[in-house]
Amino acid sequence: QMKIDTGIILYPSTRALAYLDIFKKNKLFPKEIITMGDWPFINQDLIDEDNKYNYSQKYFSLNSYIIDYIIENDIKHFHVSDVNINSKELVNLLDSKRCKEYIFTGGGILRSDVLSKNVKFIHVHPGNIINYRGSTCFYYSYLNQKLIECTTFYMSQNIDRGDVLNISRININLTINSDQKLFIDYILDPTIRALSLQRFLRLNADKKINQINTFENSDCYLIHPALRYLFYKKINENYNPKINSGIFIDDK
C-alpha cells in the first residue's frame, strides 16, 4: 500500500467512481479527497443496466462507499456541497501546502483564476491531444483510425492544452447491445480514462513532462447521434470472439 502526494477532487460522476476503483485495485491512496455534491448519485436506469450486464464486476464498482474508504484508509477528507468546479467553496479549500496537484474528475471548465492558483490539475482527456481536442474525441478517433487514445496532462488556461504527462492507447474488444443505452458514456468513457490514469500513476515515479506545441486536426464537437450509431456499429463489427473480451490498456 502506498499513499501518493496527489489529491483528487471527486465530482459525483461515474468517472470519479472509475478513478477510485483504480486507486483501490492498485493499493494506492490519494493524499487528500475532496468530495463534491451528494453521494451516492447513481440513477435507477444505470443500476438496472448494471444488474443486467454486470458492469460493476467487469469494469468498476458503481457502489460508492466513499466514506468507508476514506475512514478505513485514514485519508484526509473535505466536502463541498457545490458541484461547480469553480465554486468559491471549493477554491478556498485548495491548498498547495497540503497538495500541490489534484486529479480532476469533472464539474465544468476551470476558470483562469482557479488555474492560476499555486496548484496543478491533472486531467485525463479521451483522445490524443496532438490530434483530437474538444468533446467526445474517442468516437472520432475510433471512426477515423479504429484507435482510442487518452492523454494525461496538467490543465492550462487553454482548453485541452497543457504539459503532457502520458499518452495511452486503449484496445477495445466487445459487443454492445441495443439496450445498453448508458454504456458508452457512463461506463466505456470512464473506463478508458481510468486505465490511462492507472498507467500514469504507475509511471509517476519517473514523471516526464512533454510540451505539445503542434496540433494536426480540427477541434471535435459533441458528436451527432448518427455518428454515435456508426461508432456503436463499428465496435460490434470489429469484435473478435477468438480473443479476450473487454477494454484493455496497450502497454507496448
- Highest average pLDDT, of 74-83, 155-164, 199-208, 242-251, comes from 74-83
Contact (Cβ atoms closer than 8 angstroms) between residue 163 and residue 132: no
Is it the case that residue 205 has pLDDT exceeding 50? no
Per-residue pLDDT, 155 = 86
Per-residue pLDDT, 84 = 93
Q: Find residue 3's DSSP bridge partners.
A: 29
DSSP label at 218? P
- Min mean pLDDT across 57-66, 180-189, 203-212, 237-246 is at 203-212
Cell of 171: 484496445
Q: Kindly report the CA angle at 135 between 131 and 138, in degrees rounded to 5?
A: 60
The stretch 139-156 carries a mean pLDDT of 87
Q: Average pLDDT, whole number, for the chain?
A: 87
The stretch 30-50 carries a mean pLDDT of 95
Cell of 143: 471512426
pLDDT digits (tens, 9 = 90+) for 17-34: 999 999 999 999 999 999
3-state secondary structure of 168: strand
Per-residue pLDDT, 204 = 64
With a pLDDT cut of 70, the percent of the chain lying above it is: 88
pLDDT digits (tens, 9 = 90+) for 221-251: 556 678 888 999 999 999 999 999 999 998 7
Per-residue pLDDT, 215 = 45
Per-residue pLDDT, 145 = 85
Is it the case that residue 213 has pLDDT exceeding 60? no
Cell of 64: 460508492
Per-residue pLDDT, 159 = 58
The stretch 166-171 carries a mean pLDDT of 92
Q: Which residue is it, cell 479476450?
A: 244
Is it the case that residue 104 has pLDDT exceeding 50? yes
